Each structure stands twice: as C-alpha cells, then as structure tokens.
Amino acid sequence: MSSSFSGHDVPQFKNLRDAKKLIKKFEEEWGLGRDLKGKERASELMELAIEYGRADVVQALLKAGFEVNARVKGGYTAVHLAAQWVNEKVAHVLIDAEADVNAMVDGKLTPLDRVPEPYFDPDPYFHIVGDPSRPAEGGLDSVIFDDWDHSDAGREAQEKRKQSQDVNSKFIRVLLAAGADPAAGKRPLVVEDKVSKVFVLSQRAEQNYPSLGEELLEAAQAAAMKKSAEKHVTARTASVLYASGGATAGASDAETQLAGSRCTIS
C-alpha cells in the first residue's frame, strides 16, 4: 500500500550504537566528518551512499536499523533517490528490505516520477535551410525539425539516447516487478483514456519507453485490480461492522468510522 508524505520526518535507528559506529566508519572513509557535522548524519549518509551507488553502505545502514521508508531531504524516500540516480543495485537492496515502491511525496511524486528522462540532444535534429540569419516572418521557417541527421554527431547522439533508454527501462522493470503503479504519480507512464476508459500509454512513455508498452499496461491493470480488491475488502469489513453495530476485535479506527457513517454497501 502506498503512503503519502507532507513535511519532514527524521529517520530513526533501532540499533543506535551500531548505527553510530557505521556512520563514523563511512564518514572517515569518505572524509565527511566535517561536512556532516551537526546535520542529520544518518539521512545525509544514506543520500550520499545512493548518489554514489554504494549499495554496500545502504545495506549496512539498513541492517543497523535505518528505516527503509524513512523520509530524507525533500521528503523523499531512499527508493525515490535510487530512481533519481537510476541505480539498480541500490533499488534491489531497498526492495529486499520491503521499501514502498509507490511512496508519494505530497501526494504527487512516486519513485517512477523520479526516473530522469533518457538522454536527448536536440542539435542533430535541427537542419538549417536557406539563410538562417533571415527567418521568414512569423516563425523560424528557415529551421526545420527532421529525423536524426546522418553525421557522426547525429549517430553518437542516437546511440547515447538508446543506451540511456535501455538503462532506464531496466530500472523501471525492477520497480514494476516490485509492484510499482505506472498510472500513479504526477508524471504517469500510463493514463486512462477518457473515451474508452481503458489504460493507454502516456506521451512520456510513448516518447521514451515504447519497448515497455505491454509491461506498463499490464502493471497498471494489476495495480488497479489490487486497489479494487483492497477497496472491496474495506467495504466488506465496514459492512460487517455496521451490521454488528460497532467495532470488532482488530478493526482499525478508520474501519470503525467508515462503518458508522455508511448505511449501504454496494
């Protein structure tokens, strides 16, 4: 189940003694003692470990008790940061520790939202025709948008983009396999067509990840079915509570409140 965040949580360690030893060790290793002095050192260290791809440090911090879904700078979780740096090894470590791959920041940004756009260099796309110093009135008619040019620069840019797409696609597959919902977030990879009411690829996915098409649609459908099932279970629980006239053992406050306010269950 995804969680939303607004504000700033301070990551907490369960095993503070071991955590302090690890922090000191890695601060000395990276020469960070002065830089991290007086800050939330555990949070800072986790951010640095992810940025530099140190899956071993991430794992060590988790074993020492760093909460895998704790919020760090900006309200992001470690998985958000792993997505930002497209670090597959770190993502696997976090997912193995039961990281929430659908965690949201301010109800908007998911880890999938944080995956950067693939490399794109627009220069090889533009071809100058006529006199570029005298564009036609009303627009840049002397500049046309075309396919990749056939120069070495064009071929190099195309190859870099393909490599970037491959790396990002592989990372996205890791999140999808862990249950990430591509239809959630601020920049979804899958959207619902307003007319047909079925899932279709977003413009972002069509432009950047056409090879992931079927996988994205299947993941979105699976996430939708899971949400529907969870909603049905909640409704059934509320129905039982309402019929019994109150809360039952183990029922949450939210379920009890829902039972008291709902008169009919469809």
Lowest mean pLDDT among 19-28, 49-58, 135-144, 213-222: 135-144
Cβ neighbours of residue 121 under 8 Å, at least 6 residues apart?
157, 160, 161
Q: Which domains, from first to last, does the chain contain?
A: 1-114 (1.25.40.20), 117-180 (no CATH), 181-266 (no CATH)
Residue 148 has pLDDT above 70, yes or no: no
CB atoms within 10 A of CB 17: 10
By percentage, how much of the chain surpasses pLDDT 90?
41
Q: Is the dihedral of CA 145, 151, 152, 158 positive or negative?
A: positive
Q: What per-residue confidence (pLDDT) applies to 91?
A: 98
By percentage, how much of the chain surpasses pLDDT 70?
67
What is the per-residue pLDDT across 108-117, written as a single tens digit (0 to 9) for each? Answer: 999 999 999 9
Alpha carbon 169 to chain centroid distance?
A: 13
Average pLDDT over residues 226-243: 68
Q: What per-residue confidence (pLDDT) applies to 2?
A: 47
Identify the residue with better confidence: 197 or 7: 197
Lowest mean pLDDT among 90-94, 127-131, 138-142, 211-215: 138-142
CB atoms within 10 A of CB 129: 10
**Token duo for residue 45:** 């260290």
Q: Which residue has the tokens 């862990």?
A: 178
Q: Angle, nearest 10°, between helix axes 41-51 and 16-30?
A: 50
Which band of pLDDT confidence, cut at 50, 70 and 90, is reported for residue 130? Answer: very low
Q: What per-residue confidence (pLDDT) applies to 35?
A: 54
Which band of pLDDT confidence, cut at 50, 70 and 90, is reported for residue 256? Answer: very low
Q: What per-residue confidence (pLDDT) applies to 11?
A: 52
Antiparallel, parallel or unpaired: β 104-105 and 4-5: parallel
Residue 248 has pLDDT above 60, yes or no: no
Average pLDDT over residues 172-178: 98
- Using alpha carbons, select from 17, 22, 10 the residue that is nearest to residue 59: 22
Cβ neighbours of residue 257 under 8 Å, at least 6 residues apart?
none
Residue 191 has pLDDT above 80, yes or no: yes
Q: Is the dihedral of CA 40, 171, 162, 213 positive or negative?
A: negative
**Token duo for residue 82:** 């792993």
Q: Is the dihedral of CA 54, 55, 57, 62 positive or negative?
A: positive
Q: What per-residue confidence (pLDDT) applies to 234?
A: 61
Identify the residue with better confidence: 171 or 152: 171
Residue 261 has pLDDT above 50, yes or no: no
Alpha carbon 207 to chain centroid distance?
A: 18
Distance CA 117, CA 25 (A): 35
- Using alpha carbons, select from 165, 207, 171, 164 the residue that is nearest to residue 189: 207
Averaged pLDDT of the chain: 77
What is the per-residue pLDDT across 58-99, written as a single tens digit (0 to 9) for each? Answer: 998 888 888 899 998 889 999 999 999 999 999 999 999 999
The β-bridge partners of 226 are: none
Q: Please provide the size of the chain in residues.
A: 266
